[in-house]
Amino acid sequence: MNTLHHAAKTTGLSRRDLLAAAGVASLGALGCASVASSRSSAPAAPPAIAPSAVAPVVAPVVAPAMATAPAASGPFTLPLLPYADNALDPLISSQTLGFHHGKHHQTYVNNLNKAVAGTALAEMALEKIIATTAGVADKSAVYNNAAQHWNHSFYWQSLRAQGGGVPPLLLRQEIEAAFGSLEGCRKEMLAAATSQFGSGWAWLVLDGGRLAVTKTGNADSPLTRGQKPLLTIDVWEHAYYLDYQNRRTDYVAAVFDKLLNWEFAAGNLAAG
Ligand code: MN
């Protein structure tokens, strides 16, 4: 076609960049109908989020370094993805990221804002809300949406384009001490992820000064068990079904081998 195609060839910019630059905000035309137009302003490269600033409390995970989308009506806002929505393609498609971030995560944020409105919880940091409402029967809606907001904010940062591979030295040494080898860690992560019945999360955590792999169901968080999360993989079907259908193992293997952000984990470990 057309001038965009030509411009993409001559400038090296992607067609999407050019569309955005041209003010054509309709990602729907690119098959991303679920992604809000505000996503066109998402940075192409991760913002500078110092890993040490992310841990040990949750607030930095959704901190100012991650710009937030507009239109929040409450204390909590959806963080922009720390990469373009097609950065993980084809391992996690832009369609999956569009729904997962723009719909599922956004809904947790919206529901959390509604649930805390007019209560003392609205003044609390996210991590405090999680700690305060965990296991409290009549606060389960608050807890579930708060924990899912935290978990997803952490998950986006647990991934990166051209991830996987060999972790930084100090983290690698801790992995070898705990699991014998990186392959041992991989086996435990895949086992945790695939044995989680129904929805949930697989985690690499720091537990009593030693690395461990664990899993949680639904919205549950290692934070409530005194463990410090280093990395997570979302194993809810919405995380992978469009790309992998029922093949959760293939999704988890692809994430572990090619998308895990070991630098993020190393930063969390160093801060822990
Ligand atoms: Mn999810």
SS3 68: strand
Q: How many angstroms separate the alpha carbon of residue 57 from the centre of ligand 1?
A: 21
Q: How many angstroms separate the alpha carbon of residue 248 from the centre of ligand 1?
A: 13
Model confidence at 272, in pLDDT bands (50, 70, 90)? Answer: confident
- pLDDT at 91 exceeding the cut of 90: yes
169-271 maps to CATH 3.55.40.20: yes
Q: How many angstroms separate the alpha carbon of residue 14 from the centre of ligand 1?
A: 28
Average pLDDT on 222-244 reads 96
Q: How many angstroms separate the alpha carbon of residue 79 from the centre of ligand 1?
A: 14
Q: 205-212, long-range: CB within 8 Å, 24+ apart, which pairs?
A: 205/229, 205/230, 206/230, 206/268, 206/269, 206/272, 210/174, 210/177, 210/178, 211/174, 211/175, 211/177, 211/178, 211/179, 211/185, 211/269, 212/178
Q: How many angstroms separate the alpha carbon of residue 236 from the centre of ligand 1?
A: 6
Average pLDDT on 25-41 reads 31
Q: How many angstroms separate the alpha carbon of residue 207 from the centre of ligand 1?
A: 24
Radius of gyration of the chain measured on its C-alpha atoms:
19
Q: How many angstroms separate the alpha carbon of residue 270 from the centre of ligand 1?
A: 26
Q: How many angstroms separate the alpha carbon of residue 183 from the centre of ligand 1?
A: 26
- pLDDT at 189 exceeding the cut of 50: yes
User: What is the pTM assigned to this prediction?
Assistant: 0.75
Q: How many angstroms separate the alpha carbon of residue 115 from the centre of ligand 1?
A: 19
Domain 33-40+49-158 in this protein, CATH class: mainly alpha
* Number of Cα atoms under 13 Å in the Cβ half of residue 130: 22
